[in-house]
Chains A and B, each alone.
Chain A
């Protein structure tokens, strides 16, 4: 009986002493911090993706609270976070929700391999040692470096050999765009409507493009000619749409002989068909 009592007493005493100690030292060693930092930190998503260019959400919160950074840099949180942060620090902010779009349509059956590749199974390694494992020097290497760096599980390698973006999960942090050795990811406002070329091949010769990939842009410029708004222009060998003018009429999409022209809101972000994901 006495043992039980001693045990009880001792445990209670220990818990009390430790609790008091912790409470005491918590106050004694309190670090004075701008309460604004905590407020900003609370409004941030807390993924610590580094998309803003600061070391994690804490670093960014400190920079914003000290007015050293703009409140709209958090791409992961998008416009909602930017608004909330701007409200806290009292600045107006405008941020668009971005998503990442892969500018390559070189699926396995259409984009030919240069040869069989045995080496580092990373896009970067393949690019360094072979220039490109595909016959197309601009195409997706397909090892999924982008999938590895995505902190939001928005990317997955499809069975077609291309990474696929889940546009609901994508926060537009831009990590994949940074990682891709071919620079194939474009950061596009989520609300954008209009046509886009899913090809980055800049070879000017039609025959060379055809040889490498059946989904490539063959520089026929049919899209440039047919566009009623005259909003498509060839830039560095790739047709580029001027989204201020584009009305999403879809004529370029119809006309494109290799079907590499797509409508962003229909075929890219609104795509119904899901490609099976590689495990």
Chain B
């Protein structure tokens, strides 16, 4: 279990090693607070999505022989799930909605979340393992977000060559962080 978690969090970090969810990674890291909010919102939604899609696949799609409908069904389910959660939070937990709600529409179709739900299936994880994997991946996402947000503060106050200004320098910084993350590869045997 720990192995699954560590692999998801560090060794196969969703952003830095597998280059998923790069759009929100670049878009939402201009501020550390913002990136933390986004990170936790993603964690929340990923776990929810896993908890919803794993039973759906194993108890509904598989018995019906509709495994090939996976992509369509998962996208639909995750999108409506996020919408439902948004309604619920708005009404019952306005504080949490104010903190997280603005990010929710952004992550309805985040590729990292979809990837987690697919991998849970293709790796043949049990339900508990799937949840652990989801938490690991999304915390890895949070970690990468906060790291880049920190680096971006430095970049903002540095004389960046004109041809690298903006997104290019961010990707350069990201690749350097990714190289650093390669050092984790021997962590689990």
Indicate, yes or no, whether A interacts with B: yes
In the complex, chain B residues whose CB is within 8 Å of the CB of A30 = 91
Decide yes or no whether A120 CB sits under 8 A from chain B: yes
A125 touches B76 (CB 8 A): no
Q: Is B161 an interface residue (CB 8 A)?
A: no
Among the 9-residue stretches A10-18, A161-169, A224-232, the one with 4 or more Cβ atoms under 8 Å from chain B is: A10-18
Bound Cα distance from A138 to B80, whole angstroms: 57
Give the complex CA separation of A6 and B157 in angstroms: 59
Q: Are A6 and B64 closer than 8 Å at their CB atoms? A: yes
Name the residue on B nearest A18 (C-beta): B80
- B157 and A125 form a contact (CB under 8 A): yes
Establish whether residues A29 and B157, one from each chain, have CB atoms under 8 Å apart when the complex forms. Answer: no
Spell out A's residues near B (CB within 8 Å): 3, 6-7, 10-11, 14-15, 18, 21-22, 25-26, 28-31, 120-122, 125, 279
> What does DSSP make chain B's interface, helix, strand, loop or mixed?
helix
Instruction: Name the contact of A22 in the complex, choosing from B84, B92, B157 (C-beta under 8 A).
Output: B84
Are the CB atoms of B87 and A14 closer together than 8 Å? Answer: no
B69, B88, B162: the one within 8 Å of A29 (CB): B88
Task: Knowing that A3-B65, A25-B87, A29-B87 touch, tell me 14 more A-B residue pairs with CB under 8 angstroms.
Answer: A6-B66, A7-B66, A10-B64, A22-B83, A25-B88, A26-B87, A28-B87, A29-B92, A30-B91, A31-B91, A120-B157, A121-B159, A125-B157, A279-B162
Closest to B97 in A: A31
Interface residues of B, count at CB 8 A? 19
B69 touches A31 (CB 8 A): no
| Chain A at the B interface: SS class | helix
Which of B76, B92, B157 lies in contact with A18, CB distance below 8 A? Answer: B76
A30 to B92, CA, bound (A): 10
B76 neighbours in A (Cβ, 8 Å): 14-15, 18
A7 to B68, CA, bound (A): 10
Chain B residues close to A by CB (< 8 Å): 64-66, 69, 72-73, 76-77, 80, 83-84, 87-88, 90-92, 157, 159, 162
Shortest Cβ distance from residue A17 to the other chain B in the assembled complex, whole angstroms: 9
Does A122 lie within 8 Å of B157, measured CB to CB?
yes
29 contacts between A and B (CB under 8 A): A6-B64, A6-B65, A6-B66, A7-B66, A7-B69, A10-B64, A10-B69, A11-B69, A14-B73, A14-B76, A14-B77, A15-B76, A18-B76, A18-B80, A21-B80, A22-B84, A25-B84, A25-B88, A26-B87, A28-B87, A29-B87, A29-B91, A29-B92, A30-B91, A31-B90, A31-B91, A120-B157, A121-B159, A122-B157
CB neighbours (8 Å) of B73 from chain A are 14
Q: Tell me which residues across on chain A come within 8 A of B88, comparing CB atoms.
A: 25, 29
User: Which residues does chain A contribute within 8 Å of B83, judged by CB atoms?
Assistant: 22
Q: Tell me, in angstroms, the Cα distance from A3 to B68 when the chains sit together.
A: 11
Tell whether A21 pairs with B157 under 8 Å between CB atoms, given A11-B72, A14-B73, A31-B90.
no
